[in-house]
Chain A
């Protein structure tokens, strides 16, 4: 253990102090190169080939906010197609039949342009607001391309609509897709809630890319009645909702990770009923038990999220 900790400390020193020197050295070698040329007529040059019948139709871009010349922040307020796709004079040159056009910046996981470079183009305008924390975030740090989720040349970008967004996310998050087919879920598969209702996918303060700084604060945006603070707090509730609940789907009601009374008996072992093993002898047909059936523990301890009643210390009032 000691060896591992020393290693970690050494690593820290490297990370924090070797960076500046190394970065300066790495950047000092950058040489000047003649910049590639832009087309003579901008988008008019591009649209000569890229109409709706071409292999790469592009006209849907004109249904989007990117194609608004009056907004000088947008591609068509700047260098039109070449704002994003880069200087295109070489690409636009006619070539003998059978030869390929000179490459131009294209987007997608199969592009010749590295994902990091593609994303830099998008971030050139969009690294603001909630995307400030993109770099180094789980998506940004793992080089997820912006266009892996966003469809730029489309009237409606599926990931921006509540109903269609989850399917975009499920392309990679397959376990979550299965979770939402479980019996107890948030209303994602019903089209009433999207992944970004809870997650800030472009980077966040909180773990799991949550929209608020902590997990509980995220849950309170819809469940403010559980925020308190209560006179009688239930310690694991105030600490972390996921101590008892799982957010995406469960086979147990109310998205619980496990069924009462065993869920409660993971932490409660007092003399008397909390520590008694409940068997199927307590089911209908045997000796039906209120410790097991209907609401189980919450048949009495119904204020499980906290109580503000002066006599509510046991969360029964």
Chain B
């Protein structure tokens, strides 16, 4: 039996073997394990069951000291000024199991949410939720285009087109600030029913609207403009399931549907440059097409015996997309053939399966096997399409390439407890990836790993883990449909020969009952051993130290430090040279740390503080070429102080102060005004920096 045959056995044979194992195991009769206990005197007279209505409400006000999209990126604290603090909770419980929970969060912010849940416990549950989530990207962008937020961007009257941004004489007077930001508003509701023993039926529906503007860009040949793209998405998702839960068999049958609708199909924009050819005065981008996804999932878990358990899942899905095509071009001076079809009729069938058997063969020995299959079968029809490049000129027609792939993974692993305090585990994974219409047909990876877990003494735990993986590929052959061709020496890193080695270490020490310290480190090295052009290697190392202290019965503290280094080397060749003409290195370094302390000062007063610090540096160099890039950098210091004072049994006051200082330097953005790049009319946004103080005062009343 040669190596390939073995791999076939491992890759294709495992499902058969595991199935055989399932069938050959003894089937135990279902047994009611509930003990017979005389509970006639278990009246629970001392039990303070939760009954009746209770609620609390927090109201107050806060103030933000300055504007910053970055600071308020996801919260809504992006503008200077006051804001309201509004949070509330209410609950109802009754003896018969009827219940209701209501939660209102951040009423005064753009990230507000409301959740209502209720029902009769053990019988049914209903829920309704509403959530807003903003994303403020930048408030420092500028643009001369009018109609921001719509699908049609025009230039102001009197616009003077020019060959480069520096000679657009009307540009300076036409620039106006634009906010790139989106907001999600979602409503979800659903129900769960348990009408009969062992069964639960559930349905959940979610409707989300996402609106706003995002950054995009459009070009005419090499003359480009950054554009505000309108976002007006509706997404409806539904989850419906029926679940069975027996003592030895559990199963779940589920349907998932996702319907995405983009209410803005296109983005057209006026060409601010002198047209390179007659008629190239406006361009059009096809925005994300509306699409659908339907999926059926069956999951099951089965106790084959007290010591052997099996789980299996199968998911069958279909993605479709049939948005009407736009014309090849808006340039009426360019002639094209009719479109081969009016829409794509895009269809991707998905099939995912998973089978896993776990066993505790003895109290000391554990053996497991698993197989996962994931198939993306792209059934989208292929056609030949004319190609009008950037509304400017006709190029050779192209055929669309609907990519399909099949990914299968087989695993076996086992563990043995050598002593009560020392356990070793080891495993083997075979990973196979098949692709079509791409440079390689198949990659195969063999991964071996080992792990040791030891309790050195009553206070010290140690974990060591290491792995080695070797990925080999079939013949690397460029697809002739992909033009112009890549350098024949290029090896795309997701399908290149690769050795991957990893190592992890973790030590947890309980110094005293009140002090615990942890040390963790990990290292990963990817070596693309046969790549001459492309990614050559990547290294990632992380070290973390953390500690927790119970300084007294009333005071606790935690702290941590983390250092991470991400490095990679790559090569490329100008003019399709047969060996690399340049090499580049990336070296990202990130240090983060934090300290937190909580103090219960008295029955009336609780205090707390958190400090977070983060420093990052990104070094990029083109080896041997000058000038060198400046470092990318970011510096974050964040301090939060908070206090809670109980004025009365039902009334408490909360005071919080948040200081955050952020500085970043990014050569992609800094100093780049709309006229800096002759052939890119840019947003001119700088890298974000801010210095913000936030203070809030609120009162919470318990009803």
Binding site for B on A (CB under 8 A): 1-2, 4-6, 8-9, 11-17, 19-20, 22-24, 26-27, 35, 38, 40-44, 47-48, 59, 62-63, 65, 67-74, 76-80, 116, 127-130, 132-133, 135-136, 141, 174-175, 177-178, 181-183, 187, 190-192, 203, 205-207, 212-214, 217, 220-221, 224-233, 235-236, 238-240, 243, 251-252, 258-259, 262, 265-272, 275-281, 283-286, 288-290, 292-296, 298-300, 302-303, 305, 307-314, 316-317
On whether the beta carbons of A251 and B634 are closer than 8 Å, the reply is: yes
**30 A-B residue pairs with CB within 8 Å:** A2-B3, A5-B6, A5-B7, A15-B367, A19-B21, A20-B21, A20-B25, A23-B305, A44-B47, A47-B47, A59-B48, A128-B243, A130-B252, A132-B300, A174-B544, A178-B590, A192-B75, A224-B293, A236-B494, A239-B494, A259-B618, A266-B492, A270-B484, A294-B668, A296-B668, A299-B217, A307-B286, A308-B323, A310-B386, A317-B286
**CB-based nearest B residue for A237:** B403
| CB-CB under 8 A for A277 and B574, given A183-B634, A225-B233, A269-B533 | yes
Give the contacting residue for A302; candidates B47, B217, B360, B391; CB below 8 A: B217
On whether the beta carbons of B45 and A44 are closer than 8 Å, the reply is: yes
- What secondary structure prevails in chain A residues at the interface with B? loop
Q: Which residues of A contact B369 (CB under 8 A)?
A: 12, 15-16
Q: Which residues of A contact B570 (CB under 8 A)?
A: 262, 265-266
Q: Which residues of B contact A293 (CB under 8 A)?
A: 667-669, 672, 676-677, 680, 682
On whether the beta carbons of B677 and A239 are closer than 8 Å, the reply is: no
Query: Which positions 70-111 of chain B face chain A at CB distance < 8 Å?
Result: 73-75, 95-97, 99, 111
Q: Does B228 contact A (CB under 8 A)?
A: no
Q: Does B17 contact A (CB under 8 A)?
A: yes
On whether the beta carbons of A203 and B311 are closer than 8 Å, the reply is: yes
Q: Which residues of B contact A71 (CB under 8 A)?
A: 97, 121-122
On whether the beta carbons of B311 and A135 are closer than 8 Å, the reply is: yes
Q: Give complex CA distance A48, B135 in Å.
A: 53
- With A251-B616, A281-B627, A310-B325 given, can you name 4 additional A-B contacts, CB distance below 8 Å? A17-B21, A41-B41, A133-B299, A317-B218
Give the contacting residue for B676; candidates A40, A270, A288; CB below 8 A: A288
**CB-based nearest B residue for A21:** B24
Q: Give complex CA distance A294, B21 in Å.
A: 58
Interface string of B189-217 (1 = CB under 8 A from A): 00000000000100000000000000111
Q: Give complex CA distance A275, B612 in Å.
A: 41
On whether the beta carbons of A183 and B664 are closer than 8 Å, the reply is: yes
Q: Does B625 contact A (CB under 8 A)?
A: yes
On whether the beta carbons of B490 and A267 are closer than 8 Å, the reply is: yes
On whether the beta carbons of A192 and B359 are closer than 8 Å, the reply is: no
Q: Give complex CA distance A230, B307 in Å.
A: 48
**CB-based nearest B residue for A129:** B243
Q: Interface segment, B58-66, B151-159, B344-352, B693-701?
A: B344-352
Q: Give complex CA distance A308, B576 in Å.
A: 30
Interface centre among A38, A72, A77, A280 (most CB of B within 10 A): A280
Q: Which residues of A contact B284 (CB under 8 A)?
A: 309, 317
Q: Which residues of A contact B35 (CB under 8 A)?
A: 35, 38, 79
On whether the beta carbons of B592 and A181 are closer than 8 Å, the reply is: yes
On whether the beta carbons of A128 and B200 are closer than 8 Å, the reply is: yes
Give the contacting residue for B616; candidates A183, A205, A259; CB below 8 A: A183
Q: Give complex CA distance A206, B409 in Å.
A: 11
Q: Which residues of A contact B271 (CB under 8 A)?
A: none
Query: Which positions 383-400 of chain B face chain A at CB distance < 8 Å?
Result: 385-391, 398, 400
Interface string of B669-703 (1 = CB under 8 A from A): 11110001111101100000000000000000000
Q: Does B315 contact A (CB under 8 A)?
A: yes
A215 to chain B, nearest CB (A): 10
Give the contacting residue for A70; candidates B121, B354, B380; CB below 8 A: B121
Give the contacting residue for A178; candidates B96, B361, B484, B564; CB below 8 A: B564
Q: Give complex CA distance A72, B39 in Å.
A: 14
**CB-based nearest A residue for B588:** A251
| CB-CB under 8 A for A228 and B1, given A74-B122, A178-B590, A238-B376 | no
On whether the beta carbons of B584 and A262 are closer than 8 Å, the reply is: yes
Q: Does B29 contact A (CB under 8 A)?
A: no
| CB-CB under 8 A for A294 and B672, given A43-B42, A279-B622, A313-B385 | yes
Q: Give complex CA distance A6, B428 in Å.
A: 12
| CB-CB under 8 A for A271 and B484, given A239-B494, A265-B572, A284-B671 | yes
Q: Give complex CA distance A259, B570 in Å.
A: 13
Q: Give complex CA distance A76, B627 in Å.
A: 73
Q: Which residues of A contact B339 (CB under 8 A)?
A: 310
| CB-CB under 8 A for A127 and B323, given A141-B368, A235-B438 | no
On whether the beta carbons of B622 and A277 are closer than 8 Å, the reply is: yes
Q: Give complex CA distance A191, B106 in Å.
A: 11
B490 to chain A, nearest CB (A): 4
On whether the beta carbons of A312 and B319 are closer than 8 Å, the reply is: no
**CB-based nearest B residue for A30:** B306
Give the contacting residue for A308; candidates B26, B344, B412, B677; CB below 8 A: B344
Q: Which residues of A contact B378 (CB under 8 A)?
A: 229, 233, 238
B426 to chain A, nearest CB (A): 10
Q: Does B651 contact A (CB under 8 A)?
A: no
**CB-based nearest B residue for A277:** B582
